[in-house]
Structure 1
């Protein structure tokens, strides 16, 4: 027969009280990925976040949270320094060895799909909602976002537009979007055509390739600081200058996360992009 002293019984009682209960929800969450952070706030749970990554810049109050670094160049020490009880991470968070260290640390980590499709938006919302213990609210939010997107897409692009998405132009070298990117997904979503074909991802392209692509419009993220480029500099590029977009000085600039996030603001982004495309040449 096992006998326990009063001291042992008291110790076990303290351990029982300190142990987390199964129905407790995470209250110290690190969000890695702007689209995930937007969903957490859209569900009204921003007060459960204790840190975010650099891409998480919306809503504005997210910027008040500690920044643990760029989503693909994280450090385990930075993420763990805020003592999280849950990590929500977009696919592609890394590097892989850091993700492995986070798993080894024993902090629950939920991977959120990062595919630029309409179906992925719903999946993201439902995944985040489940992790937060808010399945019903997440379903309601997902249904609303899908309905808003359907409404936004009821207005078609008035004429076929060939769109060249330019990610950067450092040193005059054009890095453009091919297929299988968020930019390509957004261009296709609104009914326009990606002017660049034949490769996946973002790639530095030659002037000849830009001229052959013959874009009607240049699409860029609206940036400031060292990454900004004035229209005069953009259209002074020899290759761009000879395209229909260059001849008509047709450029659309949009907030990067709203345009490329494929999250709760995608209906708003689609509506904005369609309006801008339809407004060109009108």
Structure 2
């Protein structure tokens, strides 16, 4: 659930304006992948990786991104699919490095036959995993110092946001909505761990199996959360008014006290540098609930 167009013509070799490897860090090995020289033509099939590449300053090296990579706006969007990657369509961009969040269809093996390296950057389990991925992407693209700086800055920013948010004076619970069928997330999920740092109780904990259980409307009404976070505002048009219109939901404390918070679906489902923005949105909601 954490992985979330238009046409693009094939770029020419001259389109790449990647800077030469000034750091002298190549070859580098990340996991089982060894990258011999600074990649000049990167294809990103991960929206989170795309955001990170541009934050690192590696944007000029990117020749194509998948159809879900809508941020930043200047990324070279294409109709490449992150969910059903086509090796032939990817190869048309003549990449020297391809980034994916998972590789269930054997994409890396198919591209390896043409000499293209594929780096798999899976969804992180913890914040430390996300910070490590920033640093790894920096090393992989010839921006090691920038990657380490980005990881350090994100860690410091989130720590400061948490430290600057007073813990609730009384127990404060929340419901985090992924879609209108009441799929949610627990405190052990990646986003759940971020929210847990603010001292909130998650109404999905113990209510199902796995990190992303499906709750029932009856359960949510019974536990009466003080905060509701909506991660389905863009995909599904949910907002405080639509929530209040659900049968019985106007009795919830979160609805009555106007503590239903709409989040940007993309920020709430990716693990790029904008996780800091997610932490800030959670902090603002907690502060508002305590006023």
TM-score with structure 1 length normalisation?
A: 0.79
Q: How much does 1:145 deviate? A: 2.0
The C-alpha deviation readout for 1:161-212, integer Å capped at 9, x for no partner, is 211111111xxx3222235433312321333222211232334322222223
User: Which of 94, 97, 102 is matched with 1:86 structurally?
Assistant: 97
Give 3-state SS (helix, strand or coil) of 1:65's partner.
Answer: coil
Q: Which residue of 2 is the match for residue 149 of structure 1?
A: 158
Gaps of 5+ in 1: 1-20
Aligned residues: 254
Work out the CA distance in 2 between the residues paired with 1:96 and 1:80.
Answer: 16
Compare CA radii of gyration and give the structure with the larger one.
1
Compare 234-243 and 147-156 and name the one that shifted more. Answer: 234-243
User: Does the aligned pair in 2 maintain the 1:164–1:215 contact within 8 Å?
Assistant: yes
Compare 179-188 and 44-53 and name the one that shifted more. Answer: 179-188
What's the C-alpha RMSD, in Å, of the aligned pairs? 2.6
Query: Residues 237 and 94 of structure 1: is their aligned pair in 2 closer, same or farther, counting only changes over 3 Å?
Result: farther
User: Does the aligned pair in 1 maintain the 2:44–2:66 contact within 8 Å?
Assistant: yes
Q: How much does 1:259 deviate? A: 3.0
Q: Which residue of 1 is the match for residue 233 of structure 2?
A: 223
Work out the CA distance in 2 between the residues paired with 1:80 and 1:161.
Answer: 51
Q: Which residue of 2 is the match for residue 271 of structure 1?
A: 280
Work out the CA distance in 2 between the residues paired with 1:188 and 1:203.
Answer: 17
Matched, 1:234 2:246: no
Query: Residues 116 and 156 of structure 1: is their aligned pair in 2 closer, same or farther, counting only changes over 3 Å?
Result: farther
Work out the CA distance in 1 between the residues paired with 2:84 and 2:199.
Answer: 34
User: Which of 190, 195, 199 is matched with 2:203 structurally?
Assistant: 195
Q: Which residue of 1 is the match for residue 33 of structure 2?
A: none
Give 3-state SS (helix, strand or coil) of 1:175's partner.
Answer: coil
Work out the CA distance in 1 between the residues paired with 2:134 and 2:84.
Answer: 24
Work out the CA distance in 2 between the residues paired with 1:55 and 1:185.
Answer: 25
Matched, 1:65 2:73: no
Work out the CA distance in 1 between the residues paired with 2:67 and 2:127.
Answer: 24
Work out the CA distance in 2 between the residues paired with 1:163 and 1:105.
Answer: 49
Q: How much does 1:89 deviate? A: 2.0
Compare 190-199 and 93-102 and name the one that shifted more. Answer: 93-102
